[in-house]
Amino acid sequence: MAKMKFLCDAERCIECNGCVTACKNANEVPWGVNRRRVVTLNDGVPGEKSISVACMHCTDAPCAAVCPVDCFYTTADGVVLHDKDLCIGCGYCFYACPFGAPQYPSPQQRVFAVRGKMDKCTFCAGGPEEVGSKAEFDKYGANRLAEGKLPACAEMCATKALLAGDGDMLADIYRKRVMRRAGRPETWGWDKAYGAGV
C-alpha cells in the first residue's frame, strides 16, 4: 500500500512560488489562505536555501490526536483529511502541527463556503463529500487523486524540487539525484567534510 508523502529538494528549490499559485489555481484557494508556502532560510546571503512547506500528512498526525471533535481521518494511502462540517475552528490543531499547516480564515472570509473553519492542504484529495461533486470542490477544493492525478503543486514545480507521491518512489528519485550530485567532485570531499582551509 502506497504512503503518500511530499518531499522538497532544497538543492533544487528556487523559491519561485509556482507551488503556491498551482495550489491556488487547482483548489481556487482564496486570498489570504495559503495551503502551501515557500520558506527561505539565510535569505540573501551565501547558504540561502528554500523549501516548500504544506501539511505533511503525518502518519500519526498530531492534529488528529488533539482535535476535540475528531474531525480528522486518514485515507488508505496516508492522506490526512478533515470534515469541515464537524470542525469548530478552535485552532487546537494549529498548536499541535509542527509545520504551521492549518489556516484559519478570518470570519469575513467565507473561505471554501465555511467561515472560520480550519483549512489545510488536502494532498489534492478533496474531502468527505461525493467525489468530484460541487460540494466537495466548494468546501475542500480539487480531488485530483480520484482523477488519477497527483497534487498540482508538485506536478507543476518549476525545477521538480517538490515531489509528491508514494514515499518509496520519492525516495528512489531523491536517492538517484543525491548519487548524481555525489559525482560532482566539490559535493563531497575534504572541504565539505572539514571546511576549506583545514
Partner 1 sequence: MKTRFLFAAIPLVALLFLLTGCYESRDVTMHDAGVYKGKTDPLVEMSADPAYQERLQERFLMVQTDR
Partner 2 sequence: MKLIKKSHTEQTAEAPSAGRGADGKGVSLNRRAFLRNAGLTVGGVTLASQMVPGLVRKSEAATTVAVGDDVETKRTICGHCSVGCGIYAKVRDGVWVGQEPAFDHPFNLGAHCAKGAAVRDHGHGERRLKYPMKMVDGKWKRISWDQAIDEIGDKMMEIREASGPDSVYWLGSAKFNNEQAYLFRKMAALWGSNNVDHQARICHSTTVAGVANTWGYGAMTNSYNDMLNSKAILIIGGNPAEAHPVSMMFTLRAKEQGAKLLVIDPRFTRTAAHADQFVRLRPGSDIAVVYGMMWHIFENGWEDKEFLEQRVWGMDQVLEEVARWTPDEVERVSGVDRETCYNAAKLMADNRPGTFVWCMGGTQHTVGNNFTRAYCHFQLALGNMGKAGGGTNIFRGHDNVQGATDFGVLSDNLPGYYGLSEGAWRHWAAVWDLDYDEMAARFGQETYEERGGSGSKPMNTSGIPVSRWIDGVLEDREQIVQPDNLRAMVFWGHAPNSQVRGPEMKKAFEKLDLLVVVDPFPTVSAVMHDRKDNTYLLPATTQFETYGSVTASNRSIQWRDKVIEPLFDSRPDHVIIYKFAKKFGIADDLTKNIQVNGEEPLIEDIVREYNKGMWTIGYSGQSPERLKDHQKNWHTFNTTTLLAEGGPAHDEFYGLPWPCWGTPEFKHPGTANLYDTSLPVAKGGLNFRENFGTERDGDNLLAEGSYPVGAEIQDGHPRFSADLLKQLGWWDDLTDEEKVLAEGKPWHLDRSGGIIRVAIEHGCAPFGNAKARCVAWNFPDPVPIHREPLYTTRYDLVEKYPTYEDRRGFFRLPTRYASVQAKDYSNDYPLIHTSGRLVEYEGGGDETRSNPWLAELQQEMFAEIHPVDANNAGIRDGQDIWLEGPEGGRIRIKAMVTRRVEPGVVFTPFHFGGHFQGKDLRANYPEGSDPFVLGEACNTAFTYGYDSVTAMQETKCSLCRIQPA
User: Which residues form the interface with partner 1 (CB under 8 A)?
Assistant: 1-2, 64-73, 75-77, 79, 81-83, 85-86, 125-131, 143, 145-146, 148-150, 154-155, 160, 163, 165-166, 169, 173
Query: What does the block give as the cell for 32?
Result: 489570504
The C-alpha cell at 155 is: 506536478
**32 lines the binding site for partner 2 (CB under 8 A):** yes
With CB under 5 to 8 Å by kind, the binding choice for 113 among partner 1, partner 2, none is partner 2
- What contacts 188, CB < 8 A, 6 or more positions away? 182
CB of 181 to partner 1, least distance (A): 15
Q: What is the DSSP string of 33-65?
A: --SSEEEEESTTSTT-EEEEE-----TT-HHHH
Q: Check if the beta carbon of residue 112 is closer than 8 Å to that of residue 83.
A: no
CA dist 197 → 192, 193, 194 (Å): 11, 11, 9
Determine which residue in the list 2, 75, 91, 159 makes contact with partner 2, applying CB under 8 A: 159
- Of 11, 168, 172, 191, the one binding partner 2 (CB under 8 A) is 11
Decide: residue 120, CB within 10 A, 0-12 exposed, 13-18 middle, 19+ buried.
Answer: buried
Stretch that binds partner 2, among 74-82, 137-145, 163-171, 188-196 (CB under 8 A): 137-145
Site residues, partner 2 (CB under 8 A): 11-12, 14-22, 24-26, 28, 30-32, 43-46, 48-50, 60, 62, 65-66, 68, 73, 83-86, 96, 108-114, 117, 132-139, 142-143, 147, 149, 152, 155-160, 177, 180-181, 183-184, 186
